[in-house]
Chains A and B, each alone.
Chain A
Amino acid sequence: MSDTLRILVVDDELGMREGCRRILTDEGYDVETAPDGLAGLELFRERLKPEGGTDAGQGRPAHSFTAALVDLKMPRMGGMELVERIHELDPDALILVMTAYATIDTAVEATKRGAYGYIPKPFTPDELLLPVRNGLERRALALEARRLREERQNRLLEVAFERSKCNTVINCMTDGVLVVNRDGQIVLRNNAAARILPECAGLPLPSPLTCLSCAPLAALVDEALHASSLPMIVSRELPLGLCTYMANASPVFEPGGGILGAVAVLRDITALKKLEVAKSMFVSMVAHEIKSPLAAIEGYLHVVLAGIGGSDPQRDRHMLERSLLRAQALRSMVSDLLNLTAMETGAFVVKREGLDLADAVAQAIEACREKAEAKHIALALHKPPGPHDPVLADRSALQSILTNLIDNAIKYTPDNGHVDIAVEPNGMYAKVAVKDDGIGMTPEERDHAFDEFFRAKNDFTSRIPGTGLGLTLVKRLVELHDGRVTLDTAPGKGSTFTVRIPMVRHDAAPL
């Protein structure tokens, strides 16, 4: 389809219709005619409908009329009404009225109803063409202006939408954000920043950096603003109230390389700082636990080597024995500590297999027998007769659990006491109970029994070398096996540690 403009001529005089057609066709327009108002309106309406569904371009069919030349005096429907109806159908259509009764009143009336102008009859070809050309030009200009206006409106909407999206994203950030222009004026702060820096909450923007009550932050942003080399990020830890923040500020560069401003991000690192303190507390604790036995060992060695108080072979031997005992306890503490760390970092590999619990207990009892005999403590194993289902456990971890518990029971039981170990395959879990008739624990001691480095301290225990890590290790190992360890104890009534380890079921799939 060419971009030929199509013009409708409506007049009840055939001569006028054909005359117009000739003049306009010569000028390159497509012309159609109608003999009265109603026919003209029908034709105009018909051409506005999409042609065979192919809607050319912006909702306006290519074969529709761009302009209409309308006679005023016509049968069936007068020109005035036709002008009005056409204008209703297509407000963009150029309508020109042709009349032999050209008065100001009719012209004004027609213009009110939507006509662009009028052509007094009779007219020369030029007198017809000039207003048509002018009108069409005006119409094209108006349409273009409207298109531009709409485009601009759309773009503005888009920009506004993008900006609000950006604002929403910045405001939803958990970190505080402050943006400063090159003059050191705060031009943006998000919700988190207003929370962290209360003086920011009601701050009119822009406001100078000096409005910030946190001087180090203002200094940091200022530093970023005057960054000499790029890209440059300045960071500082800022304690604000009860919290600690990590403030990072960096300059914002414009495409040419000049500094536009700076952006600062405030991140809450309070939890990290607490962790740091906890870590250093733990290291101090470990150092203390290592230095205490070393202090005893070194002290004894000094006394023996320097022969302080004269030489007494029996006394020297006793001091050396004590030193050896403390050194062994220290070594075992270091290995417990390494095992615990390995468990925490996930480096501790548990290889589960079906194991006979009664056999494992018997083995652990053998390992502890010498210590029990030295204190004349009776070690007894109680187990139901016959074979039972195996437990699902790591062999060395299970040994570590059992020997730790039996060793513990022997340690905290006075001479000539009893330690009874009962094995009971019980439903989904096998149960081992290690019961002693030793000193027991107070409720407070029981609550901390599984804590790292916890050791009940009293006259009896002060002589017992221990790491304070054995029970922590037992608990972690048992839990690593999806098991449970419980403690029943009272001062003077002894303690019973009960461990439950999952069993391999007969009906379960083979390992």
Chain B
Amino acid sequence: MNSQPPLVLLVDDDRDFLEMTSHVLEAAGYRTACASDPAAALDAMTREKPSLVVSDLMMKALDSGFSLARQIKADPNLRGVPVVLATAIASRLGMDFTPRTREDLAAMHADAFLEKPLRPADLLATVGRLLGRGPGGTTP
């Protein structure tokens, strides 16, 4: 078990985004699994519990990402899995979801928040921080 690299579950309805992020994470030494909606993500988690989840915010519904995060944190078995929410929603107009404090993040049931387009370096830094690793991913 310990010899296996951590598994990151990516949830997004944009296949290109999944492909790009999984490539970035795999190149950094992580294993990845992809799901195109929250239901598929929960299904995938029953097969193998991931070390971390990166989810888009707006998929089928406006709040798909929030409800997925809530369900993960409500599940005693999955509660410990960090959740990173990523969105392309413009924070300056109308809908501002960008959390400013730890409390905001807790209310979202999220551990980190990233704005799309995201830079590979930012993604790796966030994932590495949450998994207690360096940005390279491979070093324990």
Q: Is residue A308 contacting chain B, with contact meaning CB distance below 8 A?
A: yes
Contact B17 A463 (CB under 8 A): no
Interface size class of A (residues with CB under 8 A): 20 to 34
Q: Is residue A375 contacting chain B, with contact meaning CB distance below 8 A?
A: no
User: How many residues on the B side are at the interface (Cβ–Cβ under 8 A)?
Assistant: 29
Q: Is residue B27 contacting chain A, with contact meaning CB distance below 8 A?
A: yes
Q: Is residue B79 contacting chain A, with contact meaning CB distance below 8 A?
A: no
Assuming the contacts A281-B94, A291-B90, A309-B26, asked whether A299 and B118 have C-beta atoms less than 8 A apart, the reply is yes
Other-chain contact of B93, A283, A299, A458 (Cβ < 8 Å): A283
Contact B120 A295 (CB under 8 A): no
Assuming the contacts A283-B94, A284-B95, asked whether A299 and B17 have C-beta atoms less than 8 A apart, the reply is yes
Cα A319 to Cα B95 with chains together (Å): 31
Which one of B20, B58, B90, B118 has the highest number of Cβ atoms from chain A below 10 Å of its Cβ? Answer: B20
Cα A401 to Cα B132 with chains together (Å): 55
Assuming the contacts A299-B117, A299-B118, A308-B27, asked whether A288 and B20 have C-beta atoms less than 8 A apart, the reply is no
Assuming the contacts A281-B94, A309-B27, asked whether A462 and B58 have C-beta atoms less than 8 A apart, the reply is no
Interface on chain B toward A: helix, strand, loop, or mixed SS? loop
Contact A322 B16 (CB under 8 A): yes
A277: chain B residues at CB < 8 Å are: 94
Contact A462 B13 (CB under 8 A): yes
Cα A306 to Cα B118 with chains together (Å): 14
Nearest residue (CB) in A for B93 is A284
A298: chain B residues at CB < 8 Å are: 117
Q: Which of A452-500 contact B (CB under 8 A)?
A: 457-459, 462-463
Cα A292 to Cα B14 with chains together (Å): 8
Interface on chain A toward B: helix, strand, loop, or mixed SS? helix
Q: Is residue B23 contacting chain A, with contact meaning CB distance below 8 A?
A: yes
Nearest residue (CB) in B for A310 is B27
Cα A284 to Cα B95 with chains together (Å): 7
Contact B37 A294 (CB under 8 A): no
Cα A277 to Cα B119 with chains together (Å): 31
B19: chain A residues at CB < 8 Å are: 319, 322
Cα A303 to Cα B37 with chains together (Å): 24
Q: Is residue B60 contacting chain A, with contact meaning CB distance below 8 A?
A: yes
Binary CB contact string for chain B from 1 to 37 against chain A (1 if under 8 A, 0 otherwise):
0000000000001111101110110110000000011
B95: chain A residues at CB < 8 Å are: 281, 284
Whole-angstrom distance between the Cβ of B88 and the nearest chain A Cβ = 4
Other-chain contact of A288, B24, B36, B89 (Cβ < 8 Å): B89
Cα A287 to Cα B20 with chains together (Å): 21
Contact A463 B15 (CB under 8 A): yes
Q: Which residues of A contact B (CB under 8 A)?
A: 277, 280-281, 283-284, 287-288, 291-292, 294-300, 302-303, 306, 308-310, 319, 322, 326, 457-459, 462-463
